[in-house]
Chains A and B, each alone.
Chain A
Amino acid sequence: MAKITIRGNMATALGAKLCRPDVVPAYPITPSTLFPEKISEYIADGEMDAEMIRVESEHSAMSACIGASACGARVCTASASQGIALMSEMMFIAAGMRLPIVMAVGNRALSAPINIWCDHQDTISQRDTGWLQFYAEKNQEGLDLMIIAFKVCEDKRVLLPATVGIDAFVLTHTIEAVDVPDQKLVDEFLPKYKPELYLDPSKPMTFGSFGTPEFYQEFKYAQTKAIEKASEVIDEVFAEFKEKFGREYKKITPYKCEDADVIILTMGSMSGTARAAVNKMREEGKKVGCCKLTVYRPFPGKEIVDLTKNARVIAVLDRDISPGFGGALYGEVAAQFINESKHPLITNYIIGLGGRDVLIEDFEEIYDKSIDAVKKGRVEKPVEWIHLNKEVL
């Protein structure tokens, strides 16, 4: 095992390389471009034995992934923002075809106007397509989650694709120390992909043909059951990963939550800052904790309830917005709690869109607002925006 300092993009590329993919179709887009660059380099240097398809668009990138995966190859790609949006149609198909493709994403805001910085809108907008979704807090997680994602996705009980999100610039372009697992250990952890069903001239089969109303619903039922099952498989794979590599992952990781009045729920890189903020506030005697969500699909609703139900307020932070509703994560957390016996107040903060930096003081403001809700006994504005610059409104 070697510890080196690398960018987030390089971490996901290295993670991909360790998984020995057979085919890597990719198209450049800021901030994920380093991924195809690195893969090109690995292949040129003989460090990696894979076919790289330098496609002409992201729609084709995902289409090529689908073709290769349907033939039984291990496949990965990388994209972001507009690229993800352009491949959206094919993401439905990858999931519906039950193909375990893994995609590294540099989570970036969507146009218009053009904005290359971080938010989660690109992948959150694909929440209904049937992909598993992982979000990394740091580069180490970016690398590890690539390996974990393949193992989960290729599990016979799952057979679905996954995204591994790393925040634009905050991770993609930031150098951090990363422990690179030994290839041998990864090989043991993630053996060669051997699907039972694939396009094969010796056993000709048709994939994705017409599904009349007589059968269609059962396809979608099976797909739903598979992504629900993934929840269990993820736990197993996390445990196995810890045993093999020593690093622990959870779908949702609590920090100082046991006695917390306020629990802040986060995804992605801001989770680290949240912990720093919690430490600062704890020193000031504030009973606050935070929870980091690593898995967003399948939605770990029950786990969230278990870890946060004793708080007085759950502050759900969304680095995305479903306009006309609120944050996506918030909606799903609140929905999960409704028929539970415990009813903490749930507030929603839209934060960090388009690369607005998420600061320690933002968490302090969120804490204050949450405590205010406790005092009033109710949530006045379920969806709040942090630090709006009133001058430009």
Chain B
Amino acid sequence: MEKEMYEVRFHGRGGQGAVTAATILADAAFREGKDVQAFPIFGVERRGAPVAAFMRMDTKPIDLKTQIYEPDSIVVLDPTLLDVIDVTKGLKEGGKIIINSSKKASEFKFGKAKVYTIDATKIAVKHGLGTKTNPIVNTAILGAYSKAVGNVSIEAIEEAIGEKVPRKKEENKKAAREAYEVTRGE
């Protein structure tokens, strides 16, 4: 069976907007005609604690209601998580990892996974998203996702931001676009 379903896992800390990122990505994919699901890790969220969120999309209607165990790609909103948890757990062979980091992609090594980095914190601060100590990086990193994975267009992500982000819609769109432009793989 040709696999058309595509699954993404987001890692962040409570308050950073990982759940919203999954929501925006789902909404963007939906705008491009896909059936979608997005959900948080079914746990109790606390500010600053590691959280995860998930997105599933398919060209066919999605029946599946299980959690996601083997994602096709992984998005890491907070680089400090890399020391705390195994973010690559279950990642499919040849999967992609998008990390919010000022480092070059080549500085990370996760088996056969292809790594992309984006300094989403810098971009978020530049566009006035969140505070310096607590930047909201979720829209910037989605721009990077669009470039790295390529199955959801940056235009759709911009539209979805317009729908799902309550405040600073334009700044968020700009952050996503900027990240999209500068994202590089290893």
Contacts and interface: CB of A to CB of B under 8 A. Distances in A.
A and B in direct contact, judged by CB atoms within 8 A: yes
Interface in B19-64: 22-23, 26-27, 30, 35-40, 42, 44, 62-64
A53 interface: no
A169 B54 CA distance: 12
A169 B36 contact: no
A174 B37 contact: yes
Nearest to A117: B42
Contact of B37 (A3, A117, A176): A176
B90 to A, nearest CB: 13
B23 to A, nearest CB: 5
Interface in A328-361: 355, 357-360
**Interface size bracket, A side:** 20 to 34
Contact of A170 (B26, B27, B65): B65
Contact of B66 (A138, A273, A279): A273
A169 B37 CA distance: 12
A175 B39 contact: yes
Nearest to A174: B39
B67 interface: yes
A116 interface: yes
A357 B68 CA distance: 10
A170 B163 CA distance: 23
Interface residues of B, number: 21
Contacts of B22: 175
Interface string B108-145: 00000000000000000000000000000000000000
Contacts of A160: none
A176 B23 CA distance: 9
B42 A355 contact: yes
Given A5-B26, A5-B30, A358 B65 contact: yes
A355 B34 CA distance: 27
Contacts of B84: none
A275 to B, nearest CB: 5
A386 interface: no
B85 interface: no
Given A5-B26, A5-B27, A173 B64 contact: no
Interface in A11-66: none
Nearest to B42: A169
A214 interface: no
Contact of A173 (B26, B40, B65): B40
Contacts of B44: 116
Interface in A159-177: 167-170, 173-177
B35 A270 contact: no
B156 to A, nearest CB: 12
Interface string B64-82: 1111000000000000000
B6 to A, nearest CB: 15
A276 interface: yes
Contacts of A176: 36-37
Contact of A359 (B26, B30, B42, B66): B66
Contacts of A357: 66-67
A283 B1 CA distance: 10
Contacts of A276: 63-64
A175 B38 contact: yes
Contact of B23 (A5, A283, A358): A5
B65 A177 contact: no
Contact of B30 (A138, A177, A358, A360): A177
A117 to B, nearest CB: 6
A358 B65 CA distance: 8
A175 B64 contact: no
A137 B61 CA distance: 13
Contact of B36 (A168, A175, A275): A175
B39 to A, nearest CB: 4
Nearest to A362: B66
Contacts of A167: 65
Nearest to A168: B42
Contacts of B66: 273, 357-360
Residue among A5, A173, A176 having the largest count of chain B Cβ atoms under 10 Å: A5
Given A5-B23, A355-B42, A272 B36 contact: no
A177 B35 contact: yes
Interface of B: 1, 22-23, 26-27, 30, 35-40, 42, 44, 62-67, 163
Given A273-B65, A283-B1, 18 more contacts: A5-B23, A5-B27, A5-B36, A167-B65, A170-B39, A170-B42, A173-B39, A174-B39, A175-B22, A175-B23, A176-B36, A273-B64, A275-B63, A276-B64, A355-B42, A357-B66, A357-B67, A360-B64
22 contacts: A5-B23, A5-B27, A5-B30, A5-B36, A5-B38, A116-B44, A138-B65, A168-B42, A170-B39, A173-B39, A174-B37, A174-B39, A175-B27, A175-B36, A176-B36, A177-B35, A270-B65, A273-B64, A358-B65, A358-B66, A359-B66, A360-B64
The 6 A-B residue pairs with the shortest CB-CB distance in the complex, in nearest-first order: A175-B38, A174-B39, A169-B42, A272-B63, A269-B65, A276-B63
